[in-house]
Chain A
Amino acid sequence: MKPQSMGQAVLIGLALIYLASLYFMSSPVWMGFTINALIVAVVALAWNITGGFGGMASFGHAAMYGTGAYASAILQVQYGINAWIAFAAGIVAGAAMGAFIGALAFRYGLKGSYFALVTLAFAEVLRICASSFAITGGGSGLQLRLEPGLSTLQFNERAVVYTILLVIVALVMALTAWLKYSRFGAYLIAVRENEDAARALGIDTYRIKVKAMAISGAFAGLAGVLYLQVWLFIDSAVVYGSAVSIEALIGPIIGGAGTVWGPLIGTLGLHLLGEGAKHLLHNAPGLNFVLYAVVLICALRFLPQGLMGLAARIGTFRKKDDDNA
């Protein structure tokens, strides 16, 4: 998680200063906005595991996000199960959905845009299913009963919600860093760079990829559950909609895919930009997506390694040359 250059240290510092400053600004608008951005950052971190480290660009992370949210909501609303258990179940459901999609797609050797299309198709099928069945509340969605408290995982205080989200984002990032420097992380990067060479070195690439999808699915499911607990309402368009999938991939790509900080920085930057544009142009609906598209195209053209990649080139810390034998 250590920054490798002055530029990266500045970028991370800016993000941290912004996040900390919200405690002193006492602006409910900004805090609400940032709470949203943090939930998106968790899906972005989920996408980063498969798309960033594993090179499997999914276009349908909404499938896992929505499954997590719906699993938790159905358990709480339809079966009256405790919010904590439902919370855990949402994460497990997200992981299971990720593993299922991965197992199917990789069994047939899907890669690149074919994999992206299949994930998109899964998310869309799930969206349509969720809007048609009674257990998911059909077209009207599911609403949690408002009962603030620790046992229901609902909090009135914005600052409390914000703090919990900050802790969760930090935990997910710490897990990402740990994965990156583990055997699994090295194998995942090897699979991204050259699958045949990875197989020759004794890596069961199919298992590694499915495992990555399961971990990514767990993070995405977690984000879905967080959305549910913060806003207490979900419907099929909100949690299975392609907007979720797009936001999941755009943050890491702009911030720097395959880095620990990239997804958070990219997501925060984009949301600030989108919010700023909305205020300037008087809330024209959908304008943030137009802006995202422009930023995405520019990032792909000029910043293939995202903001973290750009910052890495500014003021590189000198590495000590130990052991030149």
Chain B
Amino acid sequence: MLEVRNLSKSFGGLKAVSDASLDVPEGGIVGLLGPNGAGKTTCFTMIAGFTKPDHGSVRFNGQDVTGLPPHRICAMGMIRTFQIVQPFAGLTVQENIAVGAYLHHHDRAEAMAVARQVGKRLGMGAMLDRPASSLTIAGRKRLELARALATGAKLLLLDEVMAGLIPSEVSEIVGIIRQIRDEGHTFLMIEHVMQAVMSLAETAYVLNHGKMIAHGTPRELVQDPGVVEAYLGHGAAARLQEGHHA
């Protein structure tokens, strides 16, 4: 569904992302992992059209979308969420979701009906009339997801939707994401919460210093020496091995 090939981006002398490639199959949940500053979010901004890549291409459903503006990409069915969630203050939860729904439903009554339905699907039925600014972090993360779903997008790029949540909230969102996937959506997610990655993602890519260093199932990745070193530092894999044998 999504094919990213040799994506590169430099900011001044800093190579934020170089030669990154990844594939997301339709109906899949793919993780994008990596330590802080590895270039994960930069990858997302390029895929979703917020920044133009220096090199490389992004194909969505077989169409080349490299360098298209975000609103065009969203209209084609691919949407990103933000790490720092910011609901539209001054609007209710339902109106917030409706902003997403307006993309394909121009009439207010229709958009609000879609918003209500999406909100209920994500367990936000009781909050629909509340001002969005009154939501807790967990509520805001759900709202971010609801707004994205309301656009009718089929591929969702989630940027750390689990960050800042307590474990019980994480398992709720994990359940919601699985349910949405079963309804026919596809996910590419940046995630640090390993509990979520291990239980959701079928495959994952690991980015470090802007380069893809590994690709495989989450279980393979946690045993990959290169991945361990990316997180814990040079030589860490060897020392861990010694620890196991001792």
Give A residues with C-beta under 8 Å from B.
181-183, 186-187, 189-190, 193-194, 196-205, 258, 319, 321, 323-325
Contacts and interface: CB of A to CB of B under 8 A. Distances in A.
B91 A199 contact: no
A258 B75 CA distance: 28
A186 B98 contact: yes
B99 A198 contact: yes
Contact of B102 (A183, A200, A324): A183
B80 interface: yes
Contacts of B88: 189-190, 193-194, 197
B126 A325 contact: yes
Nearest to A205: B71
B50 A199 contact: yes
B99 A201 contact: yes
Contacts of A189: 88, 90-91
B99 A324 contact: no
Nearest to B111: A183
A187 B74 contact: no
B239 interface: no
28 contacts: A182-B108, A183-B102, A183-B108, A186-B91, A186-B95, A186-B99, A187-B102, A189-B88, A193-B89, A193-B91, A194-B86, A200-B48, A200-B74, A200-B82, A201-B79, A201-B100, A201-B148, A202-B70, A202-B100, A203-B71, A203-B99, A204-B69, A258-B90, A321-B129, A323-B128, A324-B125, A324-B126, A325-B125
Nearest to A204: B71
A200 B80 contact: yes
B103 interface: yes
B81 interface: yes
B234 interface: no
B103 A202 contact: yes
Contacts, number: 82
A196 B95 CA distance: 18
A298 B86 CA distance: 29
B154 interface: no
Contacts of B87: 193
Nearest to B96: A190
Contacts of B95: 186
A199 B71 contact: yes
Nearest to A207: B71
Contacts of B70: 199-200, 202
A197 B50 contact: no
A136 to B, nearest CB: 40
A176 B98 CA distance: 19
Nearest to B45: A196
B142 interface: no
Contacts of A202: 70-71, 74-75, 79, 100, 103, 151
A181 B112 CA distance: 11
B185 interface: no
Interface in B20-53: 48, 50
B245 interface: no
A182 B129 CA distance: 18
Nearest to B79: A200
Contacts of B107: 183
Give the 5 A-B CB pairs with smallest separation, nearest first: A202-B74, A193-B88, A325-B125, A202-B103, A199-B70
B244 interface: no
B219 interface: no
Contacts of B99: 186-187, 190, 198, 201, 203
B9 interface: no
B59 to A, nearest CB: 19
A196 B103 contact: no
A196 B82 contact: yes
Contacts of B147: 197, 201
A323 B113 CA distance: 13
B8 to A, nearest CB: 23
Given A196-B50, A324-B126, A201 B103 contact: yes
Given A200-B48, A201-B103, A193 B151 contact: no
Nearest to A183: B102
Contacts of A187: 99, 102
A319 B70 CA distance: 37
B16 to A, nearest CB: 18
B125 to A, nearest CB: 4
A8 B74 CA distance: 39
B141 to A, nearest CB: 13
Contacts of A186: 91, 95, 98-99, 102, 108, 111
A196 B79 CA distance: 12
B15 interface: no
A193 B86 contact: yes
Nearest to B75: A202
- Among B86, B88, B106, residue most surrounded by chain A Cβ atoms (within 10 Å): B88
A197 B82 contact: yes
Interface string B153-195: 0000000000000000000000000000000000000000000
